[in-house]
């Protein structure tokens, strides 16, 4: 093989790491293949002075990458799965989901050992309303402050004392080798992750069978099943990565176990439910879990959140 293909990627250190990892895997699998990284700035990367939920819209970190695929400027796009909307533009599809990294959220701090030992009224940085809701449910005394920017930018603000602690996805911290700041891994009871958190996806054109064949060995079946269930739950609630909806799936004894949570912005209301079922029907399991939480009033919580955000 003597061929060059182009990967579209955001320009952050974490995005470049993920795209470079895909590049190395593909070049290892297909000797002679050359892979080029094409950096693309997304709307979410450009607007840094507004909380994500206030920016509005889905696909804040993927739309421009998808446009590059449709315009034939790139051959595949590498995404963090938690950023990928439930629906794809006509002509595009998810070609592969790579084996999942650490899916949990982590607390980072310079001075404090854990969430429990943070002082009353401590300042905690987070870009996520999902984390904010669950954090305030655990510690309503805390001051949660919007924190945008890439992983290194956020940690720099922590080091400068602007925050007592910050919350990030463990996968990104691990991939960038910044473990020295991690003080606590949040567990499932404390903080349910975002749908797809820790997993990397590859988006391609539906009609590009050649690229689909090249990336097929990268697809990790167990991760795909888990992530499809989580994303189906999110889609059934018509939510995106900017609202306090979380879901997490595990494979246990041949069955798929899925936990979902919906909370309000101040953490005073938290609906959590779990279901289990066949690994062969992950999307149906996600819909089933969503129906349970809707029956418990999740739609009312979400409607109130959208009113607050629009206000």
The Cα–Cα gap between 75 and 15 comes to 17
Residues noted as catalytic: 83
**Site of tokens 């739609």:** 299
Torsion sign (Cα): 17, 22, 27, 33: negative
**Which tokens is 52 given?**
């994500």
Going by DSSP bridges, is the β-strand pair 165-169/123-126 parallel, antiparallel, or unpaired?
parallel
Three-state helix/strand/coil letters over the chain: CCEEEEEEECCCHHHHHHHHHHHHHHHHHCCCEEEEEEECCCHHHHCCCCCHHHHCCCCCCCHHHHHHHHCCCCCEEEEEHHHCCCCCCCCEEEEEECCCCCCCEEEECCCCCCCCCCCCCCEEEECCHHHHHHHHHHCCCCEEEECCCCHHHHHHHHHCCCCCEEEEEHHHHHHCCCHHHEEEECCCCCCCCCCCCCCEEEEEECCCHHHHHHHHHHCCHHHHHHHHHHHHHHHHCCCCCCCCEEEEEEEECCEEEEEEEEECCCCCCEEEEEEEEECCCHHHHHHHHHHHHHHCCHHHHHHHHHHHHHC
Residue 233, Cβ neighbours under 10 Å: how many?
A: 34
For residues 141 and 120, the answer to whether their CB atoms sit within 8 Å is yes
């Amino acid at each position: 093989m003597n061929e060059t293909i182009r990967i579209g990627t955001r320009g952050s250190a974490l995005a470049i790491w993920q795209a470079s990892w895909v590049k190395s895997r593909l070049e290892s699998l297909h000797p002679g293949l050359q892979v080029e990284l094409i950096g693309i700035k997304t709307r979410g990367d450009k607007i840094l002075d507004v909380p994500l939920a206030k920016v509005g819209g889905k696909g804040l970190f993927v739309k421009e990458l998808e446009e590059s695929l449709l315009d034939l400027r790139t051959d595949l796009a590498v995404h963090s799965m938690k950023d990928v909307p439930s629906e794809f533009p006509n002509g595009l599809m998810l070609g592969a989901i790579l084996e999942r990294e650490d899916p949990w959220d982590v607390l980072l701090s310079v001075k404090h050992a854990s969430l429990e030992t943070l002082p009353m009224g401590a300042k905690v940085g987070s870009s996520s309303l999902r984390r904010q809701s669950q954090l305030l449910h655990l510690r309503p005394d805390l001051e949660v402050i919007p924190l945008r920017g890439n992983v290194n930018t956020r940690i720099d603000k922590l080091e400068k004392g602007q925050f007592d602690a910050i919350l990030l996805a463990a996968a990104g911290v691990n991939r960038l080798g910044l473990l020295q700041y991690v003080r606590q891994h949040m567990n499932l009871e404390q903080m349910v992750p975002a749908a797809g958190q820790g997993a990397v996806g590859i988006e391609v054109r539906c009609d590009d069978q050649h690229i689909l064949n090249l990336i097929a060995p990268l697809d990790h079946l167990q991760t795909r099943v888990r992530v499809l269930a989580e994303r189906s739950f999110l889609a059934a609630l018509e939510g995106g990565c900017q609202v306090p909806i979380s879901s997490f799936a595990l494979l246990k004894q041949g069955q798929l176990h899925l936990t979902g949570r919906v909370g309000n912005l101040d953490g005073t209301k938290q609906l959590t439910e779990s279901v289990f079922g066949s690994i062969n029907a992950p999307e149906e399991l996600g819909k089933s879990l969503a129906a349970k939480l809707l029956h418990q009033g999740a739609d009312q919580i979400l409607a109130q959140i959208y009113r607050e955000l629009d206000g």
